[in-house]
Amino acid sequence: MSATHTLARTATAALLACVALGANAQATGPIKVGLMLPYSGTYASLGNMIESGFKLYVQEQGGKLGGREIQYFKVDDESEPSKATDNVNKLIKRDQVEVLVGTVHSGVALAMAKAAKDSKTLLIIPNAGADAITGAMCAPNIVRSSFSNWQPGYAMGVVAGQKGVKRAMTLTWNYAAGAESVKGFTQGLEKGGGKVIKDLNLPFPNVEFQALLTEIAAQKPDAVYSFFAGGGAVKFVKDYAAAGLNKTIPLYGPGFLTDGTLEAQGAAAQGMLTTLHYADNLDTPRNNNFRKAFAIAYKAQADVYAVQGYDAAQILGAGLKAVNGDLTKREALTTAMHKTVVDSPRGKFSISPAGNPVQDMYLREVKGNNNEFRSIAVKALADPATGCSM
C-alpha cells in the first residue's frame, strides 16, 4: 500500500470518528427549544405565563425531558402576523431549533404551522386556537396543548341556549380567533333554539368599544357573547360595566375574557359566566399541587395560559421519553405525543388524531380573583377537525 493511500485511509477514519462523535454529542446534548410567544403588546402576559408554565414542568423533571437538557431560544412575535414568517425562521433557520413552542395569536400561529410543516420541525401550540391548524392543516409534527377556537365558543352557546337566550349579539376582534369563537357559540346556541341577531367586530388589537356598546344598548339582545383576551379583555369588561350594560344584558364569553385579568377588572367582572377547559379552584391534588408550585416559583397565581404551557412541556416530555431523547426516531416520537393522556391541572385529557385536546368544557363564575368551577358544560368535547386527513 502506498504512503498516500495509507494517509488517505487514516484521514477518512479520523473523519468518520469525528462525525460519530458529533452525532453522539447531538443525541446527548441539550435539545434546542424555540419559544415564539408575545412578550409585548396586548397578549404579553399570556406569553409570559405560557413560558413560566413550560419551564416549571421542565424544572420539576430535574431540568431534563427524555434524559436531555433543554436549551431555550426566544423570539417576541408581538402578535403580529405580518412578521410571523420572518420570526419563525429566526428560530428554524438561524437558531436551528429542534422543537418550536408557540404561540398565542391565531394569525401568527397559522404562519408558524405552515413553516413547521414545510421544514418538518416539531410544533407544540400552547394557546392559539386557529381551527385550521388541527383541521385542514393537520400534520403528525403538530400538536396543540390548548383548545380550538370552536371548543369554548360552542360550550358557551350550549349554556346560553339552556338559559333561554333567544336573541344574542356577538362582539369580537376581527381575526380568526374572534370569528371562529363566534361560529362555535352560534352553533351551540342554535342547537338550543336561540339565534345570533347581529355580529359586531373591530380590528385587533383596537379597544375603542363605545360605538359598538351604543349599538348593543339600542338592540337590547338577551345576551352578548364576546371574544377578547389579555389587555383588550380587561378594557372591554370594564367598558361594558361602565356603560351599565351588565345590569340588563349578561355578557358571556370563552374564559379568556376573565382569565389572568381579574385583578385588573375588579368589580366589573364579578358574577360573569364563561366557559373554558380550566377553572382556578378545581379541587384536585393535581391542580392544587400545580398552583402551589407555580405560586412558589413565580410569586404569582397560575391561569389557563400557565396550564397550557405546563401541558405543552408534558406532551413534549411524553414524546421524548418514548424515544429516550432521540429526536431522529421521528415516527415513534410524534406517535407518542399524539397518544399520550396528559395528566393536566385541568383534568386528564387525550389528544385527537388531528392533534387537538379532547377535553371537558367547564362553566365558571367569577368570584373575587377566581374563575370558579360551576359545572361541566360539555363533557369530553372534541373539535370537528374539519378537513383533516391524516
Q: Which residues bind ligand BEZ (CB under 6 A)?
A: 104-106, 127-130, 149, 177, 229, 256
The answer to whether residues 271 and 174 touch, using CB atoms and an 8 Å cutoff, is: no
Q: Which CA distances in Å does 253 have to 333, 338, 380?
A: 36, 29, 19
Q: Of the two residues 149 and 333, which places its CB atom closer to ligand BEZ in the complex? A: 149
Q: Of the two residues 129 and 384, which places its CB atom closer to ligand BEZ in the complex? A: 129
Q: Of the two residues 256 and 290, which places its CB atom closer to ligand BEZ in the complex? A: 256
Task: Give min distance, CB of 376 to ligand BEZ, in A.
Answer: 21
Task: Give min distance, CB of 325 to ligand BEZ, in A.
Answer: 31
The answer to whether residues 131 and 200 touch, using CB atoms and an 8 Å cutoff, is: no
The answer to whether residues 112 and 137 touch, using CB atoms and an 8 Å cutoff, is: no
Q: Of the two residues 261 and 318, which places its CB atom closer to ligand BEZ in the complex? A: 261
CA–CA gap between residue 17 and residue 33 (Å, rounded): 28
HSE-up of residue 225 (Cα within 13 Å, Cβ side): 36
DSSP tag of 257: G
Task: Give min distance, CB of 174 to ligand BEZ, in A.
Answer: 12
Task: Give min distance, CB of 326 to ligand BEZ, in A.
Answer: 33
Task: Give min distance, CB of 26 to ligand BEZ, in A.
Answer: 34
Task: Give min distance, CB of 254 to ligand BEZ, in A.
Answer: 7
Give all strands of the β-sheet with 122-125 in edge-to-edge order.
64-65, 68-76, 31-37, 99-101, 122-125, 142-144
Q: Of the two residues 101 and 333, which places its CB atom closer to ligand BEZ in the complex? A: 101
What is the bridge-based pairing of β-strands 342-344 and 273-276?
A: unpaired
Q: Of the two residues 84 and 128, which places its CB atom closer to ligand BEZ in the complex? A: 128
CA–CA gap between residue 108 and residue 82 (Å, rounded): 8
Q: Of the two residues 85 and 324, which places its CB atom closer to ligand BEZ in the complex? A: 85
**Coil/strand/helix, residue 270:** coil
Buried/exposed 271-289: b ≥16 CB within 10 Å, e otherwise: ebbbbbbbbbebeeeebee
Task: Give min distance, CB of 41 to ligand BEZ, in A.
Answer: 11
What DSSP assignment string belongs to 261-317?
A: -HHHHGGGGTT-EEEES--TT--SHHHHHHHHHHHHHHSS---HHHHHHHHHHHHHH
Helices and strands (H, E) in the chain, number of each type: 12, 15
Task: Give min distance, CB of 68 to ligand BEZ, in A.
Answer: 30
Task: Give min distance, CB of 139 to ligand BEZ, in A.
Answer: 18
Q: Of the two residues 44 and 282, which places its CB atom closer to ligand BEZ in the complex? A: 44
Q: Of the two residues 178 and 194, which places its CB atom closer to ligand BEZ in the complex? A: 178
Residue 79 in grid coordinates: 402578535
